[in-house]
A and B are shown apart, each in its own frame.
Chain A
């Protein structure tokens, strides 16, 4: 049995909107093991954004326990949460969220700037390595405006890898990309996963879920399905099947 990266038990999250209480999550439980590639699916309003925020230590559950890498997250202070985010989680966003007018390398270095244990030389070295891993070794000095959407997302992936997180948390990471680029990115995710990196991918596109090895489906704050993917598609193969583009 491999190590449990995420362990959630009877997790509830309620928001108080005026006099009404909104139950975003109504008591869900699951675990994610090291090396898994999990997609969390659900339509809007299903509670997947709330779950993502809690998984990312940006938010705290109302009831229930959440452990990441054996660490109980409940009742931690804002600063302690920031440290967990810095050391254990790699974020990838739909809209890339790169710093404008800042080179790819410096963007990737960003999480390490907030880690006082990493020296300037080590920071640069690790950022360079992360960019090489996503295939952007020749684009390090480019600013986001000089990069395509796919390349920008690769920079963001490199940024999420640079702090050697226990889990990468992607929020609709292919949502802004065309099919071809989406598959390229998914292929990259699959490669990273093969190297042993745990990935949790939040999406509402079923074809993306087909590339992962497990899918959790949320509806109205409950898990309605949690299944191992019987037939994992290879993104690289799917990419090859796409009609050739002329331009």
Chain B
């Protein structure tokens, strides 16, 4: 009852001074709005980086043979022959956090079509490779599991290879090319992907069944790597552990021994990029927070002036029975009402400007609910914090002096 009365009194005072209240609120409004907009921009850019990486296969996991020590000499990774098809089968069967798995062997060589030739790399994989790499076909089709079984001499080529070995715009599908003198029938062309984040031309590839590449090109029976995709990006770290455990068992590695393989996810890359954009967000928010702070000081300033200006009113309120605590609460509630109303208007302005930025500047934005909650909470706290001093000042006034104040 008493508090309700005080809220009424405070509300009345605010309504009586509309212009001044609005000007006081302006600082808070701008502060809150900019915090929300800045966080939305930060979150937006983070998400866009994430989705760029995702398009490269953010949930991709790579297994490579580790460096081994033979007679005290640490061997080069390519010399390792520890990764075998049995490992691939084991992973495929046992790992339940993976959606696609493919063995991978690769080798360099010359792609030849008549008088045209081009140095490229051949990747021996299974049909799931395209899904892991999130690669579409521009034309033709992927080879089948049966073709893998039979080590068929079929291949898909990237756009760079097409441009170089079919310079006169010939339809490549159905044509025969040679890779290191082994003939392959082209059954598909990969969609253009351009360079990846590391500057590697992702279109300069030849893809063939891994069996074919193992037998005809490289004459090996081990694998260079196994790549897989986790169910989701969040599952990737656990999938890495799972794959490691499977391989340790498979390779009969005892507890004290080092792994003879490496399992990596794309996560490291993501965290690098995320931390950059997070840094940026923090910076933006820091700047925005300063404006919120200045808004708070604005409230203190106005409340202080208001207390001075209304000294006589305070004296009267005390004379008719207002206690010090009533006066304190009145001014504190006033400050809080100003800051919370400013906060609400700030949220609205922040959301509106975020939509504006998205629509007209084409910047990626993403409104985080937590940013709204935080900036709103900060607002209320600002009101209490900066309203306290002037309110305390008002409450401590002596009624006699306050009544005589002109």
Contact = CB atoms under 8 A, between A and B. Distances in A.
Interface in A60-114: 78-79, 82-83, 85-87, 91, 93, 97, 99, 101-102, 106, 110-111, 113-114
Contact of A116 (B2, B12, B312, B400): B2
Nearest to B316: A97
A91 B319 CA distance: 7
Contact of A58 (B1, B2, B322, B399): B399
Contacts of B403: 58, 93, 97
A156 B312 CA distance: 15
B323 interface: yes
Query: Chain A, interface size: which category?
Result: 20 to 34
Contact of A113 (B5, B313, B315): B5
B321 A85 contact: yes
Nearest to B318: A82
B10 to A, nearest CB: 11
A221 interface: no
Contacts of A113: 5, 8-9
B320 A99 contact: no
Q: Is the interface of B mostly helix, strand, loop or mixed?
A: helix
A145 interface: no
A110 B400 contact: no
Q: Chain B interface residue count: which class? A: 20 to 34
B132 to A, nearest CB: 71
A79 B395 CA distance: 11
Nearest to A78: B324
B312 A82 contact: no
A116 to B, nearest CB: 4
Interface string A157-168: 001000100000
A97 B312 contact: yes
B395 to A, nearest CB: 10
A82 B16 contact: no
Interface in B317-338: 317-326
Nearest to B395: A78
Contact of A86 (B313, B320, B399, B400): B320
B16 A116 contact: no
Interface string A165-207: 0000000000000000000000000000000000000000000
Interface string B33-77: 000000000000000000000000000000000000000000000
Contact of B323 (A82, A87, A101): A82
B2 A53 contact: no
A114 B322 contact: yes
**Residue from A99, A102, A119 with most neighbouring chain B CB atoms (10 Å):** A99
A58 B315 CA distance: 10
Given A58-B400, A97-B316, A114-B326, A83 B12 contact: no
Given A53-B400, A82-B318, A97-B316, A114 B8 contact: no
Contact of A87 (B1, B313, B319, B321): B321
Contact of B321 (A59, A86, A97, A99): A86
A83 B321 contact: yes
A16 B12 CA distance: 40
A102 to B, nearest CB: 7
Which residue, A85, A87, A91, A113, has most C-beta atoms of chain B within 10 A? Answer: A113
Nearest to B320: A111
A56 interface: yes
14 contacts: A53-B400, A79-B324, A82-B326, A85-B320, A91-B320, A97-B315, A99-B316, A110-B316, A113-B9, A114-B317, A114-B322, A114-B323, A116-B5, A163-B321
Given A82-B324, A91-B320, 18 more contacts: A58-B318, A58-B319, A58-B403, A59-B400, A79-B323, A82-B322, A82-B326, A85-B320, A97-B312, A97-B316, A97-B319, A113-B5, A114-B320, A114-B322, A114-B323, A116-B1, A116-B5, A163-B320
Q: Top 3 nearest A-B pairs by Cβ distance? A: A86-B321, A111-B320, A114-B321
